Amino acid sequence: MASIMVLSLNPALDLSIGLERLSPGEVNRTRETHLEAAGKGVNVARVLVALGHEVTVSGFLGADNDGAFRRAFETLGIEDAFLRVPGETRTNVKLAEDDGRVTDINGPGVVIDADAWRRLIDRLTQRCEAFSPRPRAVVIAGSLPPGVTPAMLAELVALGRAAGLPVWVDTSGPALDAAITAGATAVKPNEHELAVWMGRTSLDASARHGAAQRLRDAGAEEAVVSAGAEGVLWLGRRGAWEAMPPRVEAVNTVGAGDTLVAALLHGVLDDVSPDVALRLATALSAEAVRHVGVGRPDADDFSELQRQTRVYRLEEGDDAGGALA
């Protein structure tokens, strides 16, 4: 399997809380709580390791509360190349109600100064150009912490591309624009992030296809759009593909998109056919929404989830449907 570098610039401690119903302004009793080292990049790393890859994670962690991350990386066998900076890593709270509504309360992250940024650039330059084993791909996932601008994210993308590595990016807003301009190999907005990128409030299935093509026209070699139960769209060098996930009971959607990115990159690096790669990634993403956390490829019914996933090859100009693969 491949050696992969994952960058999580703004990781978080995820506090997931399950309760029957949230009553603002009142005392609420929780049914369950779960605290986990997370953030989009860390979630991507978890899935890649579960799929058999050697993963190094880097970015910034607050030195005052990094214990949960150290324990998680040791348990999972992930190489910890995070830079420690003064302060505490943010805590994100996910309030999940029985009716499926999820309320996110996300912290801004620890402030990154110029010295910390330069140290990260120096470390990544060494990893990408001279380190052995050299990574086969770089993934940059998540939001930007205070002090890190979209232009600085573009610097990371350019660094990886200059080293001859594919760089996959999962972010949104101005950071997504910057990543595309800098030459990101692949980008993965969800349908809401893609609508914002297009200057729209929402996109139907037909408009999503056109918007994904716009991502490619802007410079992304691979455009992956996740739309929950409405499926996944993948436009790139392997053609235009669409997948419809199996029907599952959604409990928590946090981590589904991260699972999709990791599993699709896994398929690309393994050089499997695009329909096989997209089927696995879509099914694993669907598996993730059934519980807190990322998708579990060792789930007892994962083979059945893959069998129930429908993958279509889209012809040039198709907005929906296509040939079943």
Q: CA 106 to CA 55: how far, in whole Å?
A: 26
**pLDDT at residue 150 in the model:** 98
Residue 134 has a CB neighbour count (10 Å cut-off) of 14
Q: DSSP labels for 79-104?
A: EE-PEEESS---EEEEEEETTS-EEE
Any idea which architecture 1-148 has in CATH?
Answer: 3-Layer(aba) Sandwich (3.40)
The upper half-sphere exposure of residue 110, i.e. CA atoms within 13 Å in the direction of its Cβ, equals: 25
Identify the CA nearest to 91 among candidates 122, 66, 57: 66
Identify the CA nearest to 17 among candidates 229, 288, 227, 254: 254
**pLDDT at residue 78 in the model:** 97
Identify the CA nearest to 240 among candidates 307, 308, 317: 317
Residue 169's identity, in one-letter code, is: V
Torsion sign, CA atoms 132, 134, 138, 144: positive
Residues of the chain with confidence (pLDDT) below 50: 317, 320
Active site residue 80: no
Active-site option among 66, 170, 258, 275: 258
**pLDDT at residue 253 in the model:** 85
Residue 168's DSSP bridge partners are 139, 186
Q: How do residues 92-130 score in pLDDT, each as one tens digit?
A: 998 988 887 888 898 899 999 999 999 999 999 998 876
**pLDDT at residue 101 in the model:** 84
| 133 cis-preceded (ω within 30 degrees of 0) | yes
**Structural domain spans, the chain:** 1-148
Q: CA 69 to CA 201: how far, in whole Å?
A: 36
Buried b or exposed e, range 192-218, using 16+ CB within 10 angstroms:
ebbbebbeeeebeeebbbebbeebbee
pTM of the model: 0.92
First to last CA, the chain: 26
